[in-house]
């Protein structure tokens, strides 16, 4: 039995350990990034306390996660299906409930509003949701700067660049690598007739369905170029995409003196997730396998096929035009991808739809947040109308 003094000391140590833990909330805990983040946290022995978990439909998995990680709060589309944690909204999770860092790992436009709320509350962000910056990078990044909030990228390419950069003013260009997806060396005809299963069969990464289809059309790389422009305040002319099928070099930067610094690693999202949530510390964590140059043996690089992957060109153009164009592009693409996943359109029709809708788009130079949501809503409605015809 513990003596009274021993008991008090033990309690005191427990309180100190609890206070030292980084308090984290995860939006999208049931998704590909969210599940891997929980694996990372489990592997970091007691360095994190989970304050809130948020999911969409998958309440079976969410409840399993609640039982295991015991967050105080949780969110799901259906409040009545949450057990063992208090239901609060996504915005409330991003408010003052004692979180140090929020991992935004929901997919699509749903990430934007809670991210803004978190920034307004001075909470650091580990950002996986690229749509947030594509839609509103001009609002999100200055706001984060004003509030002194860190936005640490989770996307492996941006995480790589974040790790390589010491002084952004000395950087000549960013070099973003792309695996090329399942249709890299397939003909246009093969790509045109691709089934959903073929588009989802990514050769390197196991990700959510939406981002996997975006990787097949290379729209994902286009979204990443826009994301990089905002994260690192870099002109589009200084962001280069290079195809690298092995996905070992996660991205690189070239300094003004011609030196190129790259970050390498096996294709695993555990590393960038861990980097983002533990930044600026580094821990051993669940690193699955040691990196070996001799085992990898060769690394290939090539120019993207701009003809076949028109989306990349479209994303650069929308990024350069700025304002409401990326908002429209993102919304139309997302709806078209969902239509493809439901078997309603072919893979190439995603690209055609994005092009068609952008031609009809009425440009707004500096949209406010409300206007961004309005543009997004309208673009989606018009896309659905076009696709139903
Ligand atoms: N996967 C990757 O390797 C990777 C790499 C880099 C960047 N990203 C980015 O990270 C984000 C997430 O990607 P992912 O692959 O993890 O996607 P995913 O597997 O489809 O997961 C999406 C998550 O968002 C949740 N969600 C969807 N709609 C929601 C809503 N209305 N309210 C609350 N939660 C909602 C889902 O919940 P339910 O499943 O419960 O419905 C799920 O937890 C995307 O923006 C993607 O571009 C992903």
Give tens-digit pLDDT for 84-139.
999 999 999 999 999 999 999 999 999 999 999 999 999 999 999 999 999 999 99
pLDDT at 6: 63
The answer to whether residue 141 is domain-embedded is yes
The answer to whether residue 363 is domain-embedded is no
- Domain region containing 50: 4-153
Let me know whether 45 and 115 are in one domain.
Answer: yes
- Ligand 1 atom with the shortest distance to the CA of 155: 6
What does residue 138 show for φ and ψ, rounded to 5 degrees?
Answer: -70, -20
pLDDT at 16: 55
pLDDT at 7: 58
Let me know whether 57 and 175 are in one domain.
Answer: no
Q: Within a 10 A sphere around the Cβ of 306, how many other Cβ atoms? A: 12
Q: Is the pLDDT of residue 19 over 90?
A: no
The chain-wide mean pLDDT, for the chain, equals 94
Distance 8 CA to ligand 1 centre (A): 44
- Ligand 1 atom with the shortest distance to the CA of 76: 33
The answer to whether residue 382 is domain-embedded is no
CATH number for the domain harbouring residue 20: 3.40.50.720
Q: Is the pLDDT of residue 17 over 90?
A: no
The answer to whether residue 388 is domain-embedded is no
Let me know whether 185 and 209 are in one domain.
Answer: yes
Let me know whether 73 and 222 are in one domain.
Answer: no
Let me know whether 133 and 164 are in one domain.
Answer: no
Sign of CA dihedral 358, 360, 362, 363: positive
Domains in the chain, number: 2
Q: Is the pLDDT of residue 288 over 80?
A: no
Domain limit, last residue, from 106, 135, 153? 153
Q: Is the pLDDT of residue 282 over 60?
A: yes
Let me know whether 101 and 243 are in one domain.
Answer: no
Nearest to 337 by CA among 224, 215, 181: 215
Domain limit, last residue, from 153, 173, 208? 153
Let me know whether 185 and 214 are in one domain.
Answer: yes
Let me know whether 162 and 176 are in one domain.
Answer: yes
What does residue 82 show for φ and ψ, rounded to 5 degrees?
Answer: -95, 130
- Ligand 1 atom with the shortest distance to the CA of 209: 20
DSSP state of 169: G
pLDDT at 1: 52
The answer to whether residue 345 is domain-embedded is no
Tell me the H-state helices in the chain.
Answer: 4-20, 32-42, 59-69, 90-93, 112-120, 131-147, 156-164, 188-192, 196-200, 209-217, 219-231, 270-278, 293-296, 310-321, 325-341, 347-360, 369-388
Q: Is the pLDDT of residue 365 over 60?
A: yes
Specify whether the CB–CB gap between 132 and 115 falls below 8 A: yes
Tokens found for residue 26: 């995860």
Q: Assign residue 155 a region: left if phi > 0, alpha if psi is -120 to 50, beta otherwise? A: beta
Query: Can you name the residues that pair with 243 across neighbouring β-strands?
Result: 178, 302
pLDDT at 389: 81
Q: Encode pLDDT of 237-266 as tens digits.
A: 999 999 999 999 999 999 999 999 999 999
The answer to whether residue 332 is domain-embedded is no
Q: Encode pLDDT of 211-223 as tens digits.
A: 999 999 999 999 9
DSSP state of 111: G
Distance 171 CA to ligand 1 centre (A): 32
pLDDT at 234: 98
**Cα distance between residue 140 and residue 126, in whole Å:** 13
The answer to whether residue 39 is domain-embedded is yes
Residue 341 Cβ inside 6 Å of ligand 1? The answer reads no
Domain limit, last residue, from 303, 321, 339? 321
Residue 217 Cβ inside 6 Å of ligand 1? The answer reads no
Q: Encode pLDDT of 222-234 as tens digits.
A: 999 999 999 999 9
pLDDT grade for 278, boundaries at 50, 70 and 90: very high
Q: pLDDT over 90 for what percent of the chain?
A: 90
Let me know whether 60 and 119 are in one domain.
Answer: yes
Let me know whether 58 and 175 are in one domain.
Answer: no
pLDDT at 223: 98
Residue 242 Cβ inside 6 Å of ligand 1? The answer reads no
pLDDT at 297: 85
Give the closest residue (by CA) to ligand 1 atom 15.
208
Let me know whether 130 and 238 are in one domain.
Answer: no
Range of weakest confidence among 181-190, 310-319, 372-381: 181-190
The answer to whether residue 86 is domain-embedded is yes
Across the chain, how many H-helices and E-strands are there?
17, 11
For residue 269, what are the CA distances in angstroms to 147, 176, 349? 28, 16, 30
Q: Encode pLDDT of 308-352 as tens digits.
A: 999 999 999 999 999 999 999 999 999 999 999 999 999 999 999
Q: Is the pLDDT of residue 287 over 80?
A: no
- Ligand 1 atom with the shortest distance to the CA of 129: 45
Q: Encode pLDDT of 23-53 as tens digits.
A: 999 999 999 999 999 999 999 988 999 999 9
Q: Looking at per-residue confidence, does 349 or 1 come out higher?
A: 349
Residue 157 Cβ inside 6 Å of ligand 1? The answer reads no
What is the Cβ-side half-sphere exposure of residue 78, based on CA atoms within 13 angstroms? 9
Let me know whether 174 and 314 are in one domain.
Answer: yes
What does residue 24 show for φ and ψ, rounded to 5 degrees?
Answer: -125, 145
pLDDT at 2: 54
């Amino acid at each position: 039995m513990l003596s009274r003094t021993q008991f008090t000391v033990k309690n005191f140590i427990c309180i100190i350990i609890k206070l030292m833990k980084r308090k984290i909330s995860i939006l999208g805990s049931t998704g590909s990034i969210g599940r891997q983040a929980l694996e990372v946290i489990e592997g970091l022995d007691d360095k994190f306390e989970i304050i809130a978990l948020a999911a969409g439909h998958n309440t079976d998995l969410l409840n399993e996660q609640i039982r295991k990680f015991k967050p105080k709060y949780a969110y799901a589309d259906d409040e009545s299906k949450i057990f063992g944690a208090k239901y609060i909204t996504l915005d409330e999770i991003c408010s003052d409930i004692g979180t140090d860092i929020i991992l935004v790992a929901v997919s699509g436009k749903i990430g934007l509003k809670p991210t803004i709320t978190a920034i307004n509350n001075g909470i650091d962000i580990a950002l996986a949701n690229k749509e947030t910056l594509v839609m509103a990078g001009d609002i999100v990044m200055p706001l984060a700067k004003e509030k002194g909030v860190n936005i640490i990228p989770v996307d492996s390419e941006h995480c790589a660049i974040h790790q390589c950069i010491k002084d952004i003013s000395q950087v000549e260009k960013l070099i973003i690598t792309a695996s090329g997806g399942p249709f890299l060396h397939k003909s246009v005809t093969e790509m045109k007739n691709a089934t959903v299963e073929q588009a989802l069969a990514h050769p390197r990464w196991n990700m959510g369905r939406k981002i996997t289809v975006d990787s097949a059309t290379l729209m994902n790389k286009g979204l990443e170029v826009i994301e990089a422009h905002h994260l690192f305040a870099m002109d589009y002319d200084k962001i280069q995409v290079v195809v690298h099928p092995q996905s070992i070099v996660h991205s690189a930067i070239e300094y003004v003196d011609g030196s190129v610094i790259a970050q390498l690693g096996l294709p695993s999202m555990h590393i960038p997730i861990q980097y983002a949530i533990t930044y600026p510390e580094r821990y051993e964590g669940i690193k699955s396998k040691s990196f070996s140059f001799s085992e990898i043996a060769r690394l290939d690089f090539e120019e993207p096929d701009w003809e076949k992957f028109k989306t990349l060109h479209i994303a650069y153009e929308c990024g350069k035009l700025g304002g409401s164009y990326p908002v429209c592009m993102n919304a139309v693409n997302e709806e078209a991808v969902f239509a493809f996943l439901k078997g309603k359109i072919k893979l190439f029709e995603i690209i055609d739809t994005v092009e068609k809708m952008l031609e009809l788009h009425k440009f707004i130079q500096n949209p406010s947040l409300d206007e961004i949501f309005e543009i997004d809503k309208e673009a989606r409605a018009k896309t659905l109308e076009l696709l139903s015809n």
